[in-house]
Amino acid sequence: MEKILTVKNLVMKFSNHAVLKNIDFDIEKGEKVFIIGPSGCGKSTLLRCLNYLIKPTRGDITFEGQDLKKTDINLIRTKLGLVFQSFNLFPHLTVLENIILAPTKLKLMKEEEAKQKALELLNSIKLKDKANFYPDELSGGQKQRVAIIRTLIMEPNLIMFDEPTSALDPKMIKEVTSLIQEVAETGITMLIVSHEMEFVKSLATRVIFMQDGKIIEEGSPNEIFKNPKTKELQEFLNN
Ligand SMILES: Nc1ncnc2c1ncn2[C@@H]1O[C@H](COP(=O)(O)OP(=O)(O)OP(=O)(O)O)[C@@H](O)[C@H]1O
Ligand SMILES: [Mg+2]
């Protein structure tokens, strides 16, 4: 199998506090990799490092054969998308304007083309009638689905989600996980941080367990959930 992402000896320090301590892993094309682990263990920091929202203190990240240190990060980000936990839609822009912002700003699409594609995507999630609404006029689940569409319009090859359902009411979780499930079926590679264990079990091809800035254990969902090897993972799953 072909690797899409390789992470080697990744270290992230804030002041002198190491939050990521020598992280090593890779992802093959088409995999759906989930990261689980206790609050504060460095999951969000890892995703932020992977698309250079924060610059790692040390280590190497290679995406589609390119060293992130040596490439145009804006172009990398079009192919390595990140959907945030709290949507991060611009409140002063409409749904449509939010979706077309990146592709038009980066001159990847003409405005008309971007609008047409955005409306098609909105139609596919039954939110076309909300195109001219502002984010505040949407429910949490609708906002999160728009945030996903905003990433999908770039046609990324790897899409990362940081706790995509954690800011949602239980009622809305299903509509977001269903959309992620549909996106997964297109064959795209995914890296997802989640604490919805049923969601992890339903979609993961591999699970990485992190604690205290380190990868403690990784394996298939069966290995991780039915046969955890380390004391740390056993304790995490029992809580
Ligand atoms: N910009 C920052 N400056 C200083 N410390 C930070 C910064 N961002 C994160 N940290 C620290 O790094 C550690 C890991 O944070 P991170 O947000 O990556 O955890 P997490 O695993 O995503 O937790 P959660 O499950 O609660 O989202 C925490 O101790 C946090 O306080
Ligand atoms: Mg987090």
Q: What is the pLDDT of residue 63?
A: 97
Give the structural domain span for 101.
72-82+89-171
| Cα-to-centroid distance, 95 and ligand 2 (Å) | 25
Q: What is the pLDDT of residue 133?
A: 97
What is the best residue among 44, 47, 85 to mutate for testing ligand 1's pocket, by most ligand atoms within 8 Å of CB?
Answer: 44
Task: Output the domain CATH number for residue 111.
Answer: 3.40.50.300
CA 14, 16, 17, 18 dihedral sign is positive
Q: What is the pLDDT of residue 26?
A: 97
Q: What is the pLDDT of residue 229?
A: 97
CA–CA dist 118, 186 (Å, integer) = 18
Tally of CA atoms within 13 A in the half-sphere of 132 that contains its CB: 0
Say if 167 falls within a structural domain. Answer: yes
Q: What is the pLDDT of residue 197?
A: 94
Say if 142 falls within a structural domain. Answer: yes
Q: What is the pLDDT of residue 31?
A: 98
Amino acid at 4: I
What is the best residue among 12, 13, 17, 19 to mutate for testing ligand 1's pocket, by most ligand atoms within 8 Å of CB?
Answer: 19
Say if 60 falls within a structural domain. Answer: no
Say if 123 falls within a structural domain. Answer: yes
Tell me the CA end-to-end span of the chain in Å, nearest whole number.
36
Q: What is the pLDDT of residue 171?
A: 82
Q: What is the pLDDT of residue 86?
A: 74
> Are the C-beta atoms of residues 82 and 148 closer than 8 Å to each other?
no
Q: At a CB cut-off of 8 Å and minimum separation 6, what does 177 contact?
A: 164, 165, 196, 199, 202
* Ligand 1, atom nearest to 210 Cα: 21
For the chain, the domain total comes to 1
Say if 191 falls within a structural domain. Answer: no
Say if 213 falls within a structural domain. Answer: no
Beta strand 17-28 pairing with 58-63? unpaired
pLDDT in tens for each of the 239 residues of the chain?
799 999 999 999 999 999 999 999 999 999 999 999 999 999 999 999 999 999 999 999 999 999 999 999 988 999 999 998 777 899 999 999 999 999 999 889 999 999 999 999 999 999 999 999 999 999 988 999 999 999 999 999 999 999 999 888 888 899 899 999 999 999 999 999 999 999 999 999 999 999 999 999 999 999 999 999 999 999 999 98
> Are the C-beta atoms of residues 213 and 21 closer than 8 Å to each other?
yes
Say if 104 falls within a structural domain. Answer: yes
Q: What is the pLDDT of residue 159?
A: 97
Say if 114 falls within a structural domain. Answer: yes
Q: What is the pLDDT of residue 202?
A: 95
Helix (H, G, I), strand (E, B) or coil at 184: helix
Q: What is the pLDDT of residue 104?
A: 95
Q: What is the pLDDT of residue 37?
A: 97
CA–CA dist 21, 157 (Å, integer) = 27
Residue 192, beta-bridge partner list: 34, 161
pTM confidence score: 0.94
Helices (H), the chain: 43-50, 73-79, 95-105, 111-124, 140-152, 170-184, 197-203, 221-226, 231-238
